[in-house]
Amino acid sequence: GISWKKAGGGRSVEIAPSEIEEIAYTPVPGGVVLTIRRAGDKEAVRLRGFRASDLAGVKELVAECYAKKLTKREAQTNGRNWGEVDVDRSSLTFTVDGKTSFEVNAKDIASVNLATKHEVVMEFHMDDTVHQASKDA
């Protein structure tokens, strides 16, 4: 499986090999983000901190250990107010010209309302864990 823990501490992530449905990478400013899509209703896991030079080793590891192909997902970096929306198990993905613009875990969405015929308004749960962590420090 995969076990991941942030360098500075925090919670660890454990993913059993049987849970791994897809592993993809997205080039972002300053490096690469790996996205691991899990079987069932489990949310995708995003791992940051990889460099482009790490990809060859990661690709080999994914093929050998998980019999999966590491695929590239292009990110849409131009701002748009139109595109396609895909609801896939536990996430909502907004794509423009076939590239992912952004992705939201469904559990983070508090409500969705139809604003007009072609627009929706999404409200998100307020996460105060960062604020609370700064008080605890």
- CATH code: domain of residue 88: 2.30.29.220
- CATH code: domain of residue 9: 2.30.29.30
Quick one: 46 and 113 in the same domain? no
pLDDT, mean over the chain: 82
Domain count, the chain: 2
pLDDT (0 to 100) of residue 34:
92
pLDDT (0 to 100) of residue 11:
78
Quick one: 116 and 135 in the same domain? yes
Quick one: 54 and 81 in the same domain? no
* Full residue range of the structural domain in which residue 23 is found: 1-73
Quick one: 81 and 95 in the same domain? yes
Quick one: 85 and 49 in the same domain? no
DSSP line for 86-100:
EEETTEEEEEETTEE
Q: Which residues of the chain have pLDDT under 50?
A: 133-134, 136-137
Quick one: 66 and 79 in the same domain? no
Quick one: 85 and 123 in the same domain? yes
Quick one: 27 and 82 in the same domain? no
pLDDT (0 to 100) of residue 132:
52
pLDDT (0 to 100) of residue 80:
66
Rounded to two decimals, the pTM is 0.63
Quick one: 34 and 23 in the same domain? yes
Quick one: 64 and 97 in the same domain? no
User: 107-133 burial string, b = 16+ CB within 10 Å, else e?
Assistant: eeeeeeeeeeeeeeeeeeeeeeeeeee
Q: Say if CB 106 and CB 112 are below 8 A apart.
A: no
Quick one: 69 and 86 in the same domain? no
pLDDT (0 to 100) of residue 134:
46
pLDDT (0 to 100) of residue 69:
94
- Kindly report, residue by residue over 45-84, the tens digit of the pLDDT: 888 889 999 999 999 999 999 999 999 988 766 666 678 8
Quick one: 57 and 79 in the same domain? no
